[in-house]
Amino acid sequence: MSQTIDPTVVAQVTALAEKARVASRRLALMSRAEKDAALLLLADALDAAAPTVVEANAEDIERGRAAGMSESLQDRLRLDEARVAAVAQALRDVAALPDPVGEIVRGSTLPNGLQIRQVRVPMGVIGMIYEARPNVTVDAAGLALKSGNAVLLRGGSAAASSNHALVQAMRDSLAAQGLPVDAITLLEEGGRDAARALMTARGYVDLVIPRGGADLIQTVVRESTVPVIETGVGVCHVYIDRAADLDKAQAITLNAKTHRPSVCNAAESLLVHRAVAADFLPKALTDLAGAGVRLHVAPEVTAYAEAAGAAYALASEQDFGTEWHGLEMSVAVVDDLDEAMDRIRRYGTGHTEAIVTEDRAAARRFTAEVDAAAVMVNASTRFTDGGEFGFGAEIGISTQKLHARGPMALPELTTTKWIVEGDGHVR
Amino acid sequence: MSQTIDPTVVAQVTALAEKARVASRRLALMSRAEKDAALLLLADALDAAAPTVVEANAEDIERGRAAGMSESLQDRLRLDEARVAAVAQALRDVAALPDPVGEIVRGSTLPNGLQIRQVRVPMGVIGMIYEARPNVTVDAAGLALKSGNAVLLRGGSAAASSNHALVQAMRDSLAAQGLPVDAITLLEEGGRDAARALMTARGYVDLVIPRGGADLIQTVVRESTVPVIETGVGVCHVYIDRAADLDKAQAITLNAKTHRPSVCNAAESLLVHRAVAADFLPKALTDLAGAGVRLHVAPEVTAYAEAAGAAYALASEQDFGTEWHGLEMSVAVVDDLDEAMDRIRRYGTGHTEAIVTEDRAAARRFTAEVDAAAVMVNASTRFTDGGEFGFGAEIGISTQKLHARGPMALPELTTTKWIVEGDGHVR
């Protein structure tokens, strides 16, 4: 680390993390029935606190507006009564999910009679570092509680008032239930140093999950000494193979780019096999232009972009590795599957990569050789999602290889413990 | 990080890591049959190279002796013909193990007809940082190859000649087989900076595993930006409950301490319930004294130690958190199970903790509440071992909670990939 962290802040965060650890020991022993009951009461508490939360949120919005926050960021930050009801409902949905804790992952009786089993147990204390999205505050608290973990929340300062109101309502409910309030803790002081103290609270915090833009995630990965799960940056490709069904290709391309362009599983780059470029590009680029997508094109695509009436520019090298977060897309023609996979290796971020093809051999090579959290055949990149995968909840999408890869839900917030039972066994 | 790394060394290590990554792409696609055949030929190559290896090892031993290396370190470093045969045999044993790659961890058909499956795939490039134990060089290379990974090895400089000879023999065999030699790479230059370049080669190296003493592991954990799996430090306790069968307790205590005192799953601290102290301690301490164990005792244990004729000293606070790595042990009396678990929480390292009891309730609380990679009931701590658990091989024992906890074998050297197959699916 290049800078030192204010020791007062380190002491504050450490003290909060110690309290969270004490709380976590109680949480680890709660039965599923107890945790589900607690989640339902937390949800009721949020519903009851809705007026307070909305008022606190209005302060954040007002502060944001005065500071020139963009409309789209204001929208992500805004909590009206309906949105508070939705976050409360999310806690009820988490209560309905199976409890990962106690699951026996594997086990056996050894030749010497020792009985061994590997059992899922909570991590302990989880740190979340995220941007000004108050719904993440409640989602993370609910998923942590359900998986038996205490959580330390460090949300974006632009949502400070909203987060305070949400966490206060949840902590008041925990207290009323006779549960440890330190199960859910908001780091409200210390500015950036609080986040940095959280990432270096080794021995106090078991896992840090950053959620947000590439800068936030890279900072956490670089500075953290606590284990981190990297989430989210997605430069996802759709590759239209020479053996593609072009109707499917057209639908998948449009959906992958425009269904929700701001999220990490949206497609950012379109690769088209030379053999089908003349058939496919006029239709696909007309679709994209019609949806308002601005194109960043390789030289040989310019004529198609022009003919489709698209807004376009010649793509720079950098454009092909850009996560646009909006209605923009890079487009290139490739000579073959190998060139497509080479480009994916060079520009992709290991999130989601899709091939559209009716050729089994091409699909088999693509799924075997492309190194990403999710590899799609004839499906939109938008399906890489905990909800779509049937997990019922998602705390982020891991793009790293350690511990969790792809959508992370409750099991990914647990670790395991070996329990070994003998009868006086020695070696 | 506090110091900068020599940029020449960074460039060297990065270049080697890039070559390893290219090799890893080939390894990832090899079938089990191909990998097993390669491992058997590597084993033959080591057998054939035994004279060269032994000669190289003699240089290391000579250098070590001149530098005043201890007898026990010299013993760990020494390779005679029999030991070379043993490391070659270890490769044949790895060939006989199941291949984790390609295992379908879970999968389902979603309501919309999308078929999803989570498949085990290799990590890619694994870095190993370890001390002067040349057998680790071969073990790590074998486990990496079997799990489809390329490996970058950074062994202790005291084993430089031995490691060079071993790796050269394996690389020559890979070349003769038409396989990429960069699957197994030894970092031979750059001194400590090479290790530091390896731990910070983010994007080139997928995982770093340090194996060795506490200092080595802590340095890697602190300085690494590549994901790390922390291994090995074990301050393991044996707690003799009031409801213990004292014969079992006696056997387990002696075995846990003396069976192989230098390793991480050896017991370092004995906790005895007050109710059985007067019955148990005379026998147990006599056993330990007879085995030459020096005791570090709480004040109320001194009289027992004296009577047992043990070598002993009053334990300091620090002694209770010490991994002795030899024939020494701390001993304390506790009032109850809670005090035992408090001490384990304070002094333990989350490796292996054992209770000896015939009381189901005590065993249940201990296994539920003690937070460690392995928790034993009526069994020696020495059983936390990949071989004992039936894994057939072990690359280390993880004491962290992320990705792997406890003995790590082939599956822990893999990650997963979601493969999603549709028929034109869009959201």
Q: Where do we find the tokens 């213990």? A: B244
pLDDT of residue B232: 74
Distance CA B350, CA B13 (A): 33
How much is the mean pLDDT over chain B?
Answer: 95
Q: Are the beta carbons of B369 and A417 separated by less than 8 Å?
A: no
B36 SS3 class: helix
pLDDT of residue B3: 67
Query: Best interface-test mutation with B: which of A126, A418, A423 has the largest number of B CBs within 10 A?
Result: A418
pLDDT for A221-231, tens place per residue? 888 889 999 88
Q: By CB neighbour count within 10 A (0-12 exposed, 13-18 middle, 19+ buried), where does A111 fall? A: exposed
pLDDT of residue A15: 97
Residues in chain B within 8 Å Cβ distance of A121: 371
Q: Are A101 and A411 in contact (CB under 8 A)?
A: no
Q: What mean pLDDT is predicted for residues A51-73?
A: 95
pLDDT for A7-21, tens place per residue? 999 999 999 999 999
Q: Are the beta carbons of B251 and A424 separated by less than 8 Å?
A: yes
- Cα A388 versus chain centre, distance: 13
pLDDT for A136-156, tens place per residue? 999 999 999 999 999 999 999
Those residues with Cβ within 8 angstroms of residue A210's Cβ, 6 or more apart along the chain or in another chain: A128, A129, A130, A216, A217, A219, A220, A221, A228, A230, A231
Q: Is A377 an 8 Å CB contact of chain B?
A: yes
The H-assigned helical ranges of B317-378 are 337-347, 360-369
Q: What mean pLDDT is predicted for residues B167-195?
A: 96
Name the minimum distance, in Å, from the CA of A347 to any CA of chain B: 13
E strand or H helix at A154: strand A150-154
Q: Are B409 and B395 in contact (CB under 8 A)?
A: yes
- CA dihedral over B71, B77, B83, B87, signed as positive or negative: positive
Q: Is B388 an 8 Å CB contact of chain A?
A: yes
Chain A, 267 to 306: residues with Cβ < 8 Å from chain B are none
pLDDT of residue A173: 98
Closest-CA residue of chain A to B114? A379
pLDDT of residue A413: 96
pLDDT for B342-378, tens place per residue? 999 999 999 999 999 999 999 999 999 999 999 999 9
Q: What mean pLDDT is predicted for residues A188-216?
A: 91
Q: How confident is the model at residue A162 (pLDDT cuts 50, 70, 90)?
A: very high
Q: How confident is the model at residue A394 (pLDDT cuts 50, 70, 90)?
A: confident
Chain B, 152 to 211: residues with Cβ < 8 Å from chain A are 202, 206-207
- Cβ neighbour number for residue A286 with a 10 Å cutoff: 16
- Cα B142 versus chain centre, distance: 15
Residue B2 pLDDT > 80, yes or no?
no
Q: Is B403 an 8 Å CB contact of chain A?
A: yes
pLDDT of residue B213: 81
pLDDT of residue A233: 84
Chain A, 221 to 250: residues with Cβ < 8 Å from chain B are 221-222, 225, 227-229, 245, 247-248
pLDDT for A268-316, tens place per residue? 999 999 999 999 999 999 999 999 999 999 999 999 999 999 999 999 9
CA atoms lying within 13 Å on the CB side of residue B241 = 23
What chain A holds in terms of domains, given with CATH numbers, is: 7-230+404-421 (3.40.605.10), 236-387 (3.40.309.10)
pLDDT for A76-118, tens place per residue? 899 999 999 999 999 999 999 999 999 999 999 999 999 999 9
Q: Is B52 an 8 Å CB contact of chain A?
A: no
- Cα B58 versus chain centre, distance: 26
Residues in chain A within 8 Å Cβ distance of B421: 363, 376-379
pLDDT for B49-95, tens place per residue? 999 999 999 999 999 999 999 988 898 899 999 999 999 999 999 99
Query: Which residue from B202, B251, B209, B204 is spatially nearest to B354, judged by alpha carbons?
Result: B251
Query: Best interface-test mutation with B: which of A3, A257, A401, A410 has the largest number of B CBs within 10 A?
Result: A401
Residue B19 pLDDT > 60, yes or no?
yes
Q: Are A235 and A268 in contact (CB under 8 A)?
A: yes
Q: What percent of chain A has pLDDT over 90?
A: 88
Q: Are A416 and A241 in contact (CB under 8 A)?
A: no
pLDDT for B284-320, tens place per residue? 999 999 999 999 999 999 999 999 999 999 999 999 9
Q: Is B3 an 8 Å CB contact of chain A?
A: no
Chain B, 58 to 97: residues with Cβ < 8 Å from chain A are none
Q: How confident is the model at residue A3 (pLDDT cuts 50, 70, 90)?
A: low
Residues in chain A within 8 Å Cβ distance of B206: 401-402
pLDDT of residue A1: 42
Q: Which of A378, A400, A419 sits opposite B375 (nearest CB)?
A: A419
Looking at the DSSP bridge assignments, the partners of residue A117 are A107, A419
Indicate the range of B104-108, B131-135, B229-233 predicted with least confidence: B229-233
pLDDT of residue A231: 84
Q: Are the beta carbons of A427 and B222 separated by less than 8 Å?
A: no
Q: Are the beta carbons of B383 and A415 separated by less than 8 Å?
A: no
Q: Are the beta carbons of B380 and A426 separated by less than 8 Å?
A: yes
The number of helices, as runs of H, and strands, as runs of E, in chain B is: 14, 16
Q: Is B367 an 8 Å CB contact of chain A?
A: yes
pLDDT of residue B150: 98
Residues in chain B within 8 Å Cβ distance of A206: 401-402
Q: Which of A206, A375, A423 sits opposite B417 (nearest CB)?
A: A375
Q: Are the beta carbons of B123 and A25 separated by less than 8 Å?
A: no
Residue B1 pLDDT > 50, yes or no?
no
A403: left (phi over 0), alpha (psi -120 to 50) or beta: left
Residues in chain B within 8 Å Cβ distance of A114: 379, 383, 388
Q: What percent of chain B has pLDDT over 90?
A: 88
Q: Are the beta carbons of A114 and B383 separated by less than 8 Å?
A: yes
Q: Are B299 and B315 in contact (CB under 8 A)?
A: no
CA atoms lying within 13 Å on the CB side of residue B95 = 18
Q: Are the beta carbons of A378 and B422 separated by less than 8 Å?
A: yes
Q: What is the rounded (10 degree) CA torsion for B375, B379, B382, B386? A: -70
Closest-CA residue of chain A to B373? A417
Q: Is A380 an 8 Å CB contact of chain B?
A: yes
How much is the mean pLDDT over chain A?
Answer: 95
